[in-house]
Amino acid sequence: MCEEDVTLEDVCCGLKVGQKVPDFKIDIYDSANKAFGEISLEQLKKDGKWTIIVFYPADFTFVCATEFEAIAERYEEFKKLGAEVITISTDTKFVHLAWQRDEKSLAKVAYPMGADPTGSISRLFGVYNECSGLDLRGTFVINPDGLLLNSEVNFYNLGRNFDEVLRKLKANLYLAGHDSEACPAKWQKEGDTTLKPGADLVGKVFEATH
């Protein structure tokens, strides 16, 4: 249903932060091995992996190519932290192969490229545009227990900063072992100042962070 026809009953927000993500499987183009395959959230959880899902509008588009290059530059860091990055669009795995082969911005891509031509997984996460058949730029961080911890959605014309996605992953990893603490806005890495919520901190955040 298109924009001018939308009513409140038509709006579906998808999964929300704090919810468990249902297990799913998706066909992929395995760009590292130049092969087709399949990846599942269930197996990633069994392997103790964090899962970062990156939805994007379409192959052979423009901002998307810059995002793919940016992810490729940080992919080894994500892997070292125990995370798998999966990019997903409504293109088929065959189009993924052609784009990765032909677009030089994707030359160093070595992460799985997921194909969701029916939009079923895209709808699950609330990023599918029923009018265009394309996905919005949604980024989701799922912990090894399948819990959705971070969610961000941009419109088509705004690319994402994957240094910030990496920062979020590092913060989540730190907080998983320090659940009585909180990471402030400028937190970058373990060793940086954190906050310990409690009565003593009320009205004293400036003193704790400067």
Residue with tokens 């784009």: 99
In contact, 15 and 125? CB cutoff 8 Å: yes
In contact, 137 and 56? CB cutoff 8 Å: yes
Specify which residues 51 forms β-bridges with. Answer: 84, 142
Q: Per the residue annotation, which of 13, 64, 131, 183 is the catalytic one?
A: 64
Residue with tokens 């730029």: 137
Q: Which residues of 53-89 are buried (b: 16+ CB within 10 A; e: fewer)?
A: bbbbbbbebebbbebbbbbbeebeebeeeebbbbbbb
Specify whether 64 is catalytic: yes
Cα–Cα distance, 33 to 74 (Å, whole number): 19
**Could you list the active site residues?**
64
